[in-house]
């Protein structure tokens, strides 16, 4: 692939956490390989500043993205690099999701100093997670656990674990691997045993929709199988009107020319879990992304027919 440099320094907006900087540094490195000058600009988001309370309880769309998106719209930066699971499904007017690079492992990971697996944790073990989705699935698998909230960056959560505040914590495997902490993973809670958040393990790169040069450049970083999988997941999440305030999980992937999607909606205590899935052939011609979105809507419809709206409403209180 030929280099495609722009005639300007590309400014990347990012959160300042170690994981966010790793992600932005990776994008910057890819852009430099294509002959571009790059500058990284750190931007604090409301989610970084407001550390009290769970993410779900804050109930704020774009908790970790809004300020960076605003910087793109105002022309202070050219690109925003997000963890795709943090990016709301409703597209902000004036912005385009220009690239979804190859996805890392979407699995959740158990980190603990007291056991080798989830099954080995003693009854009543205190497990930390900031995710209602993880909470519900953990309690469905192990209703005898005490699942409690935790906030902070990956290193902060690991420190709290090591200081004894928790017996175990659950984090995204991709984040641990990217930061060089893969050896802390005691067990991968891989799908279908536990389904991840829509977009988990993937990056989302946004730019202004009228910035044709940047959009063309971002196409060099886009990975079609990743795009199709996360499109199905995010469309499903949007169709359920879920966000981070309900236990919703989805897993989309391309295998042998087919798009496979599995999803679930649960109550927050993990007592009731609704599941749906679909295997769809991908057409040889036509809009593959729209086909992926259609599959996401179909699976969401199956969940709604089972009563998902009731569980989502109850989770929101």
Question: Which residues are marked as active site?
Answer: 86
Q: Which residues have a Cβ under 8 Å from the Cβ of 269 and sit 6 or more positions away?
A: 136, 139
Contact 252, 233 (CB under 8 A): yes
Q: Return the bridge partners of 206, or none.
A: 80, 97
Tokens of 303: 């969940």
Q: Which residues have a Cβ under 8 Å from the Cβ of 241 and sit 6 or more positions away?
A: 312
**Is the C-alpha dihedral spanning 130, 134, 135, 138 positive or negative?**
negative
Calculate the alpha carbon distances from 204 to 24, 57, 81, 85, 98 in Å: 11, 24, 6, 9, 8
């Amino acid at each position: 692939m030929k280099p495609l440099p722009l005639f300007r320094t590309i400014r990347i907006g990012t959160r300042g956490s170690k994981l966010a900087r790793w992600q932005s540094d990776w994008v910057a490195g890819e852009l430099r390989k294509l002959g571009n000058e790059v500058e990284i600009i750190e931007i604090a988001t409301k989610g970084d500043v407001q550390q009290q309370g769970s993410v779900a309880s804050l109930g704020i769309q774009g908790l970790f993205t809004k300020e960076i998106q605003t910087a793109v719209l105002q022309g202070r930066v050219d690109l925003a690099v997000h963890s795709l699971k943090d990016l709301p499904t409703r597209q902000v007017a004036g912005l385009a999701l220009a690239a979804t690079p190859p996805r890392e492992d979407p699995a959740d990971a158990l980190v603990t100093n007291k056991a080798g697996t989830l099954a080995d944790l003693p009854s009543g073990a205190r497990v930390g997670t900031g995710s209602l989705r993880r909470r519900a699935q953990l309690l469905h698998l192990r209703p005898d656990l005490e699942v409690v909230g935790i906030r902070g960056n990956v290193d902060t959560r690991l420190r709290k674990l090591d200081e004894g505040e928790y017996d175990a914590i659950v984090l995204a495997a991709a984040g641990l691997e990217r930061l060089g902490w893969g050896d802390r993973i005691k067990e991968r809670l891989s799908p279908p045993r536990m389904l991840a958040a829509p977009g988990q393990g993937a990056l989302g790169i946004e730019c202004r929709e009228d910035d044709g040069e940047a959009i063309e450049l971002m196409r060099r970083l886009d990975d079609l199988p990743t795009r199709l999988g996360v499109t199905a997941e995010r469309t499903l999440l949007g169709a359920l009107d879920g966000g981070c305030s309900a236990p919703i999980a989805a897993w989309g992937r391309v295998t042998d020319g087919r798009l496979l999607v599995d999803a679930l909606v649960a109550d927050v205590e993990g007592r009731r879990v609704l599941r749906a899935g679909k295997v769809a052939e991908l057409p040889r011609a036509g809009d593959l992304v729209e086909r992926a979105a259609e599959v996401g809507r179909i699976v969401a419809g199956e969940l709604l027919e089972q009563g998902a709206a009731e569980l989502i409403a109850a989770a929101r209180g």
